[in-house]
């Protein structure tokens, strides 16, 4: 892996954070790398690391050579310290984390340019990158749907009215069209879940609509079913107006995308096999790998 003329990922350059372990091998602390890749929450970054470990296995390389769980002492004020979870990462591990990070983060986009595998280099195609982005957004939208349902229940929405509540958000965002009407307009089969046929732009708009509704229900201390339903519709309308103001495409005018299951199959089939040179393959073990 070449390190010539590589740009910095942030205020501190990636190479400045490099350390050396007892095997003489270079490594990076995940806690050091986290802010450079634009993650404010360790939990989210740990999820990216987990995906990277799976990707390492799928690429035909041993994750144990590249990801080592470790503890790290941090300052907590008044001279105190506490231990937090950390990982020691090889250069290849850092590359995989960047490839499996949130593609909407500019730091991740920069990092994906930063790392390059020179031996049998296999760059991700534009289609593969778009597929990964859509899969991540679909996952996040599903999680937000569940979170919003919980918030709606706390705001007084009864189970029998959940369909009406969620439809209100769609009607606000889609100019009066509910779930069934949106499918009819776009020619989506009734059996398909609407979000499974949304492209990345449409998914992002709906995720924002749900996030903002959940926050507003809590902020306004909504406790009646009728007000919760109206709140969801109003937030949808506000998101729609924002799209209009910036000249974006209104969601009902966005053609349906292929089913998300097809995207999942394509991404799984396209998992690259990466052959590393001896130095990179040894990862955290360095010269000790030659003795095994």
What is the per-residue pLDDT across 95-125, written as a single tens digit (0 to 9) for each?
899 888 887 888 887 787 766 543 334 444 5
Cα three-residue angle 281-286-287, rounded to 5 degrees:
110
Kindly report, residue by residue over 154-172, the tens digit of the pLDDT.
999 999 999 999 999 999 9
Tens of pLDDT, residue by residue over 193-212, are 999 999 999 999 999 999 99
Write a three-state SS string for 78-110: CCEEEEEEEEEECHHHHHHHHHCCCCCCHHHHH
Mean residue pLDDT of the chain comes to: 85
Mean pLDDT for 74-94 is 78
Cβ proximity of 268 and 132 under 8 Å: no
Using alpha carbons, list the distances in angstroms from residue 61 to 2, 116, 161, 270, 273. Answer: 19, 16, 50, 16, 9
For residue 288, the model assigns a pLDDT of 64
Among 28-32, 177-181, 182-186, 243-247, the minimum mean pLDDT is found in 28-32
Percent of the chain clearing pLDDT 90 (strictly above): 59
């Amino acid at each position: 892996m070449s390190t010539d003329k590589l740009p910095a990922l942030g205020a501190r350059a990636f190479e400045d954070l490099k350390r050396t372990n007892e095997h003489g091998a270079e490594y990076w602390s995940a806690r050091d790398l986290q802010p450079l890749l634009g993650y404010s929450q360790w939990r989210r970054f740990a999820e990216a690391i987990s995906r990277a470990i799976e990707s390492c296995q799928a690429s035909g390389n041993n994750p144990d050579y590249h990801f080592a769980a470790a503890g790290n002492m941090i300052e907590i004020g008044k001279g105190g310290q506490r231990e937090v979870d950390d990982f020691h990462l090889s250069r290849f591990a850092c590359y995989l984390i960047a490839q499996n990070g949130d593609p909407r983060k500019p730091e991740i986009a920069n990092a994906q340019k930063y790392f390059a595998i020179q031996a049998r280099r296999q760059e991700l195609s534009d289609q593969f990158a778009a597929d990964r982005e859509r899969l991540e957004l679909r996952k996040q939208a599903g999680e937000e749907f569940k979170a919003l349902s919980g918030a709606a229940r706390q705001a007084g929405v009864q189970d029998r009215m959940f369909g009406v509540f969620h439809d209100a958000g769609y009607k606000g965002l889609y100019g009066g069209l509910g779930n069934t009407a949106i499918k009819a307009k776009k020619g989506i089969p009734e059996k398909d879940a609407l979000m499974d046929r949304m492209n990345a732009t449409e998914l992002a708009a709906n995720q924002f609509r749900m996030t903002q509704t959940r926050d507003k229900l809590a902020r306004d201390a909504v406790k009646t079913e009728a007000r919760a339903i109206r709140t969801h519709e109003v937030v949808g309308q506000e998101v729609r107006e924002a799209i209009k103001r910036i000249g974006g495409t209104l969601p009902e005018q966005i053609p349906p995308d292929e089913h998300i299951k097809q995207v999942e199959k394509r991404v799984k089939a396209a998992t690259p096999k990466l052959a590393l040179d001896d130095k990179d393959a040894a990862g955290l073990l360095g010269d000790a790998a030659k003795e095994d």
